Structure 1
């Protein structure tokens, strides 16, 4: 008997079976397709690449954190000083401004304001509570309470107007000068400036109280020391501002020459 060809006997030959590795790969792909994207895929889509904008929720969360950071103990003390200013003026001028009892209450309000001034800046720097609000409100609160006390004392005739003009003129002038030269750098607070603030607070506090006798004479000398420190430290700040401005201009000119060369 002649042999029959395999193709004729069985028709077309069946396809070769797939390897085990290929079958496993197809099964894994089918499983991924059925289950959807993995956690890694979701994380990759959630993270912006390059200049892509962050999700809207991230901006809102960051804004909420920044807003909450304003309400810290240092800023609360600064706000307390601002609130004390109108209260101090009302107490100072109550009953004509010469009643010893009302003047004592006014002194208490002034003392609280000056004490909080010593602590809020220290707390902000120590515990990293520095905020844009604090940078602006703190010097305003300092000058507001001191200015209110000096103007009240001069309007009542207890303190010569020239003393008030010298102290307030120096404070406002130095503050303005700081803003002018801030493009070149920051003028740090000196020890003399801190001593000036302390002596000013003591002197003004002694004038707020209705003192008589040798204490009234002593407060005159303390105020004289405060005025001297005010003028001397003011001139020193002017010197620092001039040096800082010259150094800043020199650095800019050197940078421009290096760029051109």
Structure 2
């Protein structure tokens, strides 16, 4: 890999040739995480075998300038960055583990999240299930969407959709997220099914093929989508998510309060 400037973020961030995130000009973070392929055994389509020692992905949590820290903490929002390694496991591109978000206090909708691609191409797998928490092993999936997001573009994960991030490009994938800190993150149903409802696999031409995970029952056909911007919700492709939040945190009210925004968020997906 070669070094990469992550100026799309609007922050002094870069990626080293080894795939590590470098923070400049006083940026601070509160924690990091590292996963090897072996840590994701049971989430890929096949056994990870001898690839277990390979790097899968790293996370960098609660990144902020000191002058902005109070705003993020007051609004209970965290700005994080994930770096997914290039490469594949038996033809399946490296990815994050996949999870659902917990319900809001009224249990009317789960919380959403904002994902901004800074480097590489992402394929975000979304799947809706209403019983993932009470019935993790037998959860019914009602809808499946594969969303392609290019550098500079942003996806708002709709409430009620579990999600997984796949490195669909040739090099590393780097994306930021804005997340509501009190939101529970639930992995059990995805783990029980050995991954998401569909796997992404490279075919002989190098194209990504979406293959149903037969551990799920009665899966719907997967839909494909891309994204468009919406300044009203703080989503502007010409401006980084960090600066959008710092400048207009009120536009991200849908993160702690999803109920009034479900249709508007779904409307940000352009279905093929």
Q: TM-score range by the shorter chain?
A: under 0.3
Q: Who wins on radius of gyration, i.e. which is larger?
A: 1
Larger helix share, 1 or 2:
1
Could you state the TM-score of these two structures normalised by the residue count of structure 1? 0.23
Larger strand share, 1 or 2:
2
Higher relative contact order (CA 8 A, sep 6+): 2
